Every structure is written in structure tokens, then in C-alpha cells.
């Protein structure tokens, strides 16, 4: 069971994506930027400023002197200039006079007010003393524009301040948004120093894939150089492979390796019941990424929206799915290639994808992420036991040898289970036995404390004995590693067979052997007790999957021929996948092969009845048999060497 990928949580509930290494997203725009507090603060600032400005204009630093004093100075010939506006007079003295209010220093400029009843002949006096007189009209005729500006100024100031304060308050850490109307420069992303980002160091066993993605890393690191050469990067890279092989991990590692922001979302998270929501979210996501480019957008499980269109594509939400997909395609078409946004997508069903997705300029690079081989598994185990103290005798190479077919996620889970077991057992180190018990748990399921009636135990012993014995008798079949009649997971018993070495292709003979082995449980119950029980449900599912592949996909039936008659997931997006006659033939051939295999299983068990009885007896006594004990109980010697079977 793959452990959950440790992706960071979503930043906001209303955006379906997560980001990592990106400057924090600004909070959603509120109806009132800054809220009431911002407004009040802005008003207060405007008030203070207005007061300061007004007092500056009003008072200046000239003292108000009495009109008597002014008259005296005029008479004394000490006034050089005056400015008059109505009865208000400002002026300048030739030589300073002590301030009227007894303040420090002298004053040279002054202002005063001429009383209306003053009957002095001010004008005559002024001309006699040669004072320059300037007057301005009482009512100033300002232009319409000036009036408008003047009346709007406080309002404008208020709004401006409000906006500034709102930005300060709301986006205290919102570095991404620049000042008013200024486009935020694509600044280098400062990585949060605390959290170490995922890099290729954390990925193992898929070196070829890493190699292919290195191009992307290089492009993200030096986008200018590619731009200068006029080289276009692929807009999108599609990672395809079985679940748990590390696709998500790889995408994050590419971003971490290049040191660029990483936006990730699962395609299904875009889809809502409301048509159009998905598309607008896609638009937002791409806009966000462009803002901080170079960046990576990762869309997980793209097959959920990227399935081939047309045909019976399920029920409602079809339009929404299509619109969301179209939006992604549109955004990718819009790439000029120089923006430095690379889209990575992952799927474990590359075969069902809409061809529109894989057109040039879109996801034109497909990278297959396979399950790791033996050396890869060892390397992955090393990574996931980095922080686990291992005891002396632990041989990770040996563990890797016994876990063919397991993916990175399963191996990570194995390492974790072993550590959990060691803690439970109050050990300071993880020992080899912790690891093998953990492997048993991972492969067979957790033990279930279930008291079975004796009769049922006996039947289970024969059932598992049947599987195991047929597995041992088939030439070229995977060796039996473990048999148990302790209930585990949903099963009453388990027989585990794993290959000695990794297998990449299967022969028809091997597949028939698998079917015979899987039918062995049912055949044994039938042979010994002459009953059919529900315990064979799982076995039959397995048989059906194998035989459908043999007949419908792998050309192993002469009658159906060498063609693909059934799609790999059993349901074609285009409805019927072949002519009804062909499908009839497929059905017929599947039955024929299974019947033949069942016959063979029954025959082998009948001929080896003493071995079956011995195996069942041993199981009832021991409950669990390992490889050596199982072969010994059945009296069969293992044919092959330890590893390296053809």
C-alpha cells in the first residue's frame, strides 16, 4: 500500500493546488482592502497631514503683529515690501525687530490685519516710504480644472493611502505583489531555508528517467541560454508508470533540483459539479506559475480528465471535464516557450489518454517510470533507511533480492513497517528479523486474530496446500516462498510465490502455470471434500485477468488471432472494442483455457495426492511454512539455483 506522498498542504481552501518553493500567495482579495481598520488608519493619516499642511500655509513663521506696530514701522520707513489681500497684509521689514510676544530673536517678515475703520492714509504713507506694494484679488478665480483637482485632492489622498495601508497590512509577506500597478519582477525565489526540498538525491532506481528529466532541470536553471539559442523546450512532460513508482516524487525532485517553485494539483481536484469552475482554476494556476516563472506545474492523475473524448465517458460532469482539459491545452498552447513554465503530468494509464494531450507542443515527451529492478530496489531501500538505525546483520541487498516487483512506495512502506516493529519490540536498532516480519506483513497482509473451527482450518490447509503444491510442480513457475493458514488481511490463508529474479516478459507456459496454481486451491477442495467454497473468489479474479490478457491482448489463442480484442482496462471508451463475433470467440477461448488448466490442476493433484496430504498435515501442525520447510514437507527438491532462472 503506497504511503501518502508528503506533499505540502494546500495554501488556500479555494485553490485546488499546492505550491512549494514559491513566494507565499497573497491572501484572497477582500471586498474592502485592508478592511475598516485600514480605512480608519488612512483617514487618521490624511487628517494629520492636512493639519500639518494647513498650519504650514497659515502660520508660516511670520509673527502676527498689531496694526499699530505696523503703522509705526511704516512711518519709521522700516518696511520694504507688502503683499495685500483684502485687509490682510503680509510684509517684510528692512531690519529685524524684536518679536512682539517676547520670543527669542528678531522677526523680519510679519503679517497683520488692517481694521476696517482705520482712517489712516496708508497708501500715501506707503508711497512716501517707497514700499513695494503687491495686491492680489480677494476672490481668486481658479480654473475649473484646478478647482476640480483641489476638491478631489483629499479624496485622492485618502484612497491612495488606504490602498497603501491595505497592501502593508494584508500582504505583509506578500512579496509577489509589487507596488500599485507595477508588475512584480520575476525575482529569484528564496527557498525556505528550514525545509529541505526533494532532489534527485531522494530518488533511486530510475536513473534513465532522471537522465531524461535532467534536460528540464537544465532548462529551468538556465532559461536565458535556451532563449538565446531560440530553442524551444517541450511544454509538457508526461510521466507514466504504475502507482507508487515515484512519479510525484520525481516531479518534486525536478523542481527541487532546479530550485524553482513547484505547483501541484491532482486533476480530479479541479473538477467540481459546477461547469466552468475547473477551467477557471486552471487559468488561475497557470497565471500564478507565470508570475514566478521559471516554475513547474505538476498535474497528477491527468487521466481522470484526459481520457480520450467521445464515446460513453460516464455520467455527469462530462462537460466540466472537457472544459478543464481544454483549458489546460489552451494554456499550454499559449506558451511561447520562453516563459520557463514546464508542465509535468503523471498518469498510470497512459494508454487511455486523449491523443490531443500528446500532440507536439503539449505533452510531447513521454517518460515511462518503471518499477525498480534489483539494484534499484536496494538503492531505494538505502534511501528509506537513511534515518533508521540498522543492526549489524541487516543485508539490504538480500531484501532487495526477495522483493521483485515491489515499487518504491511499497519499499518505503516496508522500511517504515520494520522501524515500527522495532519500536514495538523495544529495540534500539532494526534487525533482520524485523525486516523479514515487516516484509511478511506487507506481502501477506496483517495477521488477523480469528479462531477458526477445526474443519475450516483443515479445508484451508488443503486449499493452500493445493496452490503451493501446483506451484512447486510447474516447471518454470515462481518458487513458493511461504505458506500460511493464519488468517491475514481478508484471506483465510496465503501462499506466496515470488520469482527469483525480475521478470519482464512472460511465456505462455508460465502464464498457464500461474492459472493452474491459482486454481489449485479450488481443485484441492474439490478433490478432497468435493465442495466449492467462497474462498476461491480472489483466485478466480486472478485467473480471469490472466486469461483475458492471454486471449485478448497477447495473441495466445489461435482462434482469436494476433490482435488486441479487449482494451487493457476491460472497458473501452469507444464502446465495443471488437466485433461481437470476435468477443464471442474471446469468451469461448478464455473458457477453453481455464477449463484445460483446471483439468490439469485436478490431474496433478490426484497424481500427487500423498504430497498434498503431507503438505496439509504440515500446515495444520505448523500453521506457517517457509520455503525450505514447504518443499521438504511436500518431498520436492527445488530445481533451480538460488537465482538466475531463465
Query: Which residues of the chain form contacts with ligand ADP (CB under 6 A)?
Result: 2-3, 5, 203-206, 243-249, 346, 380, 383, 408-409, 412
Give the 3-state secondary structure of residue 160.
Answer: helix
> Contact at 8 Å (CB) between 494 and 445?
yes
- Burial (Cβ within 10 Å: 0-12, 13-18, ≥19) of residue 139: exposed
Which of 11, 10, 3, 21 has its CA nearest to residue 251?
A: 21
Instruction: Report the residue number, 380 or 523, with the smaller CB distance to ligand ADP.
Output: 380
CA distance 201 to 153: 60
Size of the site for Mg ion (CB under 5 A): 1
The alpha-helical segments, DSSP class H, found in 314-431 are 318-333, 374-384, 396-401, 408-424
Please choose which of Zn ion, Mg ion, ligand ADP, none residue 511 contacts, taking the beta carbon within 5 to 8 angstroms, the exact cut-off set by kind: none
> Contact at 8 Å (CB) between 577 and 308?
no
Among the candidate windows 422-430, 536-544, 591-599, 627-635, which touches Zn ion by CB under 5 A? 536-544
Output b/e per residue, 227-261; b: 16+ Cβ within 10 A. beeeeebbbbbbbbbeebbbbbbbbbbbbbbbbbb
- Which among 464, 525, 589, 600 is annotated as catalytic? 464
- Is residue 464 part of the annotated active site? The answer reads yes
Instruction: Write out the three cell numbers for 408.
Output: 518504491
Q: How far is the CB of 441 from ligand ADP (least distance, A)?
A: 17
Give the 3-state secondary structure of residue 81.
Answer: strand
Q: Does 539 bind Zn ion (CB under 5 A)?
A: yes
Give the 3-state secondary structure of residue 494.
Answer: strand
Which of 48, 44, 43 has its CA nearest to residue 159?
A: 43
Instruction: Report the residue number, 2 or 259, with the smaller CB distance to ligand ADP.
Output: 2
Per-residue contact track with Zn ion, 495 to 534, x per CB under 5 A? --------------------------x-------------
Give the 3-state secondary structure of residue 121.
Answer: coil
Q: Does 266 bind Mg ion (CB under 5 A)?
A: no
CA distance 457 to 174: 66
Instruction: Report the residue number, 294 or 372, with the smaller CB distance to ligand ADP.
Output: 372
Please choose which of Mg ion, Zn ion, ligand ADP, none residue 358 contacts, taking the beta carbon within 5 to 8 angstroms, the exact cut-off set by kind: none
> Contact at 8 Å (CB) between 315 and 321?
no
> Contact at 8 Å (CB) between 369 and 448?
no
Q: How far is the CB of 598 from Zn ion (least distance, A)?
A: 14
Instruction: Report the residue number, 179 or 243, with the smaller CB distance to ligand ADP.
Output: 243
Instruction: Report the residue number, 165 or 203, with the smaller CB distance to ligand ADP.
Output: 203
Size of the site for Zn ion (CB under 5 A): 2
Q: Does 264 bind Mg ion (CB under 5 A)?
A: no
Instruction: Report the residue number, 380 or 546, with the smaller CB distance to ligand ADP.
Output: 380
Among the candidate windows 7-15, 112-120, 247-255, 524-532, which touches Mg ion by CB under 5 A? 247-255
Q: Does 248 bind Mg ion (CB under 5 A)?
A: yes
Q: Does 624 bind Mg ion (CB under 5 A)?
A: no
Q: How far is the CB of 543 from Zn ion (least distance, A)?
A: 10
The alpha-helical segments, DSSP class H, found in 292-365 are 303-306, 318-333
Give the 3-state secondary structure of residue 244.
Answer: coil
Please choose which of Zn ion, Mg ion, ligand ADP, none residue 539 contacts, taking the beta carbon within 5 to 8 angstroms, the exact cut-off set by kind: Zn ion
Q: Angle at the Cα of 255 (from 254 to 256), degrees rounded to 5?
A: 90
Please choose which of ligand ADP, Zn ion, Mg ion, none residue 206 contacts, taking the beta carbon within 5 to 8 angstroms, the exact cut-off set by kind: ligand ADP
CA distance 205 to 379: 6
Q: How far is the CB of 280 from Mg ion (least distance, A)?
A: 25
Q: How far is the CB of 247 from Mg ion (least distance, A)?
A: 5
Q: How far is the CB of 300 from Mg ion (least distance, A)?
A: 5
Please choose which of ligand ADP, Zn ion, Mg ion, none residue 495 contacts, taking the beta carbon within 5 to 8 angstroms, the exact cut-off set by kind: none
Q: How far is the CB of 248 from ligand ADP (least distance, A)?
A: 3
Interface contacts to Mg ion, rule CB under 5 A: 248
> Which residues are part of the catalytic machinery?
464
Binding site for Zn ion (CB under 5 A): 521, 539
Amino acid at each position: 500500500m503506497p504511503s501518502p506522498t508528503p506533499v505540502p498542504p494546500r495554501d488556500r481552501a479555494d485553490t485546488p493546488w499546492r505550491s512549494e518553493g514559491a513566494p507565499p500567495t497573497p491572501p484572497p482579495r477582500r471586498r474592502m482592502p485592508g478592511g475598516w481598520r485600514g480605512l480608519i488608519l488612512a483617514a487618521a493619516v490624511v487628517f494629520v497631514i492636512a493639519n500639518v499642511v494647513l498650519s504650514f500655509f497659515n502660520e508660516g513663521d511670520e509673527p502676527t503683529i498689531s496694526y499699530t506696530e505696523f503703522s509705526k514701522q511704516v512711518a519709521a520707513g522700516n518696511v520694504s515690501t507688502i503683499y495685500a489681500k483684502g485687509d490682510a497684509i503680509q510684509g517684510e521689514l528692512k531690519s529685524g525687530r524684536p518679536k512682539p510676544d517676547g520670543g527669542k530673536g528678531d522677526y523680519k517678515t510679519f503679517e497683520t490685519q488692517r481694521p476696517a475703520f482705520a482712517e489712516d492714509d496708508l497708501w500715501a504713507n506707503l508711497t512716501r516710504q517707497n514700499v513695494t506694494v503687491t495686491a492680489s484679488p480677494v476672490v481668486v478665480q481658479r480654473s475649473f480644472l484646478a478647482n476640480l483637482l483641489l476638491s478631489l485632492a483629499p479624496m485622492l489622498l485618502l484612497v491612495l493611502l488606504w490602498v497603501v495601508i491595505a497592501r502593508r497590512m494584508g500582504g505583509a509577506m506578500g512579496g509577489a505583489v509589487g507596488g500599485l500597478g507595477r508588475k512584480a519582477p520575476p525575482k529569484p525565489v528564496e527557498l525556505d531555508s528550514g525545509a529541505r526540498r526533494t532532489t534527485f538525491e531522494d530518488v533511486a532506481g530510475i536513473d534513465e528517467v532522471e537522465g531524461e528529466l535532467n534536460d528540464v532541470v537544465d532548462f529551468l536553471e538556465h532559461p536565458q541560454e535556451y532563449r538565446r539559442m531560440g530553442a524551444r523546450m517541450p511544454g509538457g512532460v508526461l510521466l507514466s508508470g504504475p502507482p507508487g513508482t515515484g512519479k510525484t516524487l520525481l516531479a518534486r525532485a525536478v523542481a527541487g533540483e532546479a530550485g524553482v517553485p513547484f505547483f501541484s494539483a491532482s486533476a480530479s481536484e479541479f473538477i467540481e459539479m459546477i461547469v466552468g469552475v475547473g477551467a477557471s482554476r486552471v487559468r488561475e494556476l497557470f497565471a500564478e506559475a507565470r508570475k514566478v516563472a521559471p516554475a513547474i506545474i505538476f498535474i497528477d492523475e491527468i487521466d481522470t480528465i484526459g481520457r480520450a473524448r467521445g464515446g460513453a465517458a460516464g455520467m455527469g460532469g462530462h462537460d466540466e471535464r472537457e472544459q478543464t482539459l481544454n483549458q489546460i491545452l489552451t494554456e499550454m498552447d499559449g506558451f511561447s516557450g520562453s516563459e520557463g513554465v514546464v508542465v509535468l503530468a503523471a498518469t498510470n494509464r497512459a494508454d487511455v489518454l486523449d491523443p490531443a494531450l500528446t500532440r507536439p507542443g503539449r505533452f510531447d515527451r513521454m517518460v515511462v517510470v518503471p518499477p525498480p529492478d534489483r539494484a534499484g530496489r536496494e538503492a531505494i531501500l538505502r534511501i528509506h533507511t537513511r534515518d533508521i538505525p540498522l543492526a549489524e546483520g541487516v543485508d539490504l541487498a538480500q531484501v532487495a533480492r526477495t522483493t521483485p516487483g515491489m515499487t518504491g512506495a511499497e519499499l518505503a512502506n516496508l522500511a517504515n513497517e520494520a522501524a515500527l516493529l522495532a519500536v514495538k519490540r523495544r529495540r534500539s536498532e532494526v534487525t533482520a528479523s524485523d525486516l523479514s516480519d515487516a516484509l511478511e506483513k506487507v506481502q501477506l497482509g496483517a495477521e488477523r486474530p480469528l479462531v477458526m473451527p477445526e474443519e475450516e482450518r483443515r479445508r484451508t490447509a488443503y486449499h493452500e496446500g493445493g496452490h503451493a503444491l501446483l506451484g512447486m510442480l510447474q516447471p518454470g513457475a515462481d518458487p513458493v516462498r511461504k505458506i500460511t493458514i493464519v488468517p491475514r488481511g481478508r484471506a483465510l490463508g496465503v501462499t506466496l510465490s515470488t520469482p527469483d529474479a525480475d521478470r519482464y516478459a512472460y511465456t505462455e507456459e508460465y502464464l498457464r502455470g500461474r492459472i493452474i496454481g491459482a486454481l489449485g486451491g479450488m481443485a484441492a477442495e474439490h478433490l478432497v471434500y468435493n465442495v466449492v467454497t467462497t474462498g476461491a473468489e480472489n483466485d478466480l479474479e486472478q485467473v480471469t485477468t490472466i486469461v483475458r490478457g492471454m486471449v485478448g491482448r497477447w495473441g495466445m489463442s489461435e482462434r482469436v488471432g494476433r490482435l488486441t480484442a479487449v482494451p487493457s482496462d476491460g472497458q473501452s471508451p469507444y464502446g465495443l472494442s471488437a466485433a461481437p463475433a470476435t468477443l464471442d470467440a474471446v469468451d469461448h477461448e478464455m473458457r477453453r483455457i481455464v477449463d484445460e488448466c483446471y483439468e490439469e490442476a485436478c490431474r496433478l493433484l490426484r497424481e500427487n495426492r500423498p504430497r498434498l496430504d503431507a503438505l496439509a498435515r504440515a500446515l495444520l501442525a505448523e500453521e506457517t511454512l517457509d520455503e525450505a520447510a514447504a518443499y521438504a514437507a511436500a518431498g520436492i527438491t527445488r530445481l533451480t539455483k538460488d537465482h538466475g532462472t531463465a
